[in-house]
Chains A and B, each alone.
Chain A
Amino acid sequence: QQQVKQSPQSLIVQKGGISIINCAYENTAFDYFPWYQQFPGKGPALLIAIRPDVSEKKEGRFTISFNKSAKQFSLHIMDSQPGDSATYFCAAIPPNSGGSNYKLTFGKGTLLTVNP
């Protein structure tokens, strides 16, 4: 059972455009939603994360928008650059996951290509 559904699978954007990646979750108990960025040949790395008590978080050109009632969250990349070309994964973590019960559920990923 896939608990985090990510779309689209791939996305092509022109330089300077806005990239939007969407995720929907099923488990209302999730309380932490990170996004990971992965460049070819590298491991994923945390990009930005949000908790459900806020509706939006912005870090530079990257913004997470969170809709708790719809159980959806999205990543917006403003002024997209060729260097942003990577695979992006959304993820979700349930509460009280600091110990051995830590469970990070990933979406299937979105391959973003930003054309120059």
Chain B
Amino acid sequence: DAGITQSPRHKVTETGTPVTLRCHQTENHRYMYWYRQDPGHGLRLIHYSYGVKDTDKGEVSDGYSVSRSKTEDFLLTLESATSSQTSVYFCAIRPGTPYTGELFFGEGSRLTVL
């Protein structure tokens, strides 16, 4: 296990409601990522973090925000959920050194927006 816990693992919500997904790591890795996985689109990067309070946008960041106040936690927030945000969300972590290029993924959070 890579020491990554995502919560909640499953959530059903209604359009317009706020949703926060949490990623918790026990590895003290510097880099953390949020991806979404959709059929036909593979894995797409939403946001990532390269340190506490240091975050940046990925390729599909519209409608999402993130926060990282502690090394171990990376939060993904949907301010007002839409049906297009129904997806499986994966958190991933990566050590700064040694650099191997490998990402370690959590088990995912399945979000359904009705």
Interfacial residues, chain A to chain B (CB-CB below 8 A): 6, 9, 32, 34, 41-46, 49, 89, 93, 97-100, 102, 104, 106-109
Secondary structure class of chain B's binding surface, majority of residues: strand
Interfacial residues, chain B to chain A (CB-CB below 8 A): 4, 31, 40-45, 48, 50, 54, 56, 90, 92, 94, 96-97, 99, 101-108
Tell me the total A-B contact number using a CB cutoff of 8 A. Answer: 54
Q: Are A34 and B43 in contact (CB under 8 A)?
A: no
User: Which residue of A41, A43, A102, A109 contacts B31 across the interface (Cβ within 8 Å)?
Assistant: A102
Q: Which 10 A-B pairs have the closest CB atoms?
A: A43-B105, A100-B50, A108-B42, A98-B99, A106-B43, A109-B42, A106-B42, A46-B102, A32-B101, A44-B105
Question: Complex Cα distance A104/B42, Å?
Answer: 12
Chain B nearest Cβ from A33, distance in angstroms: 10
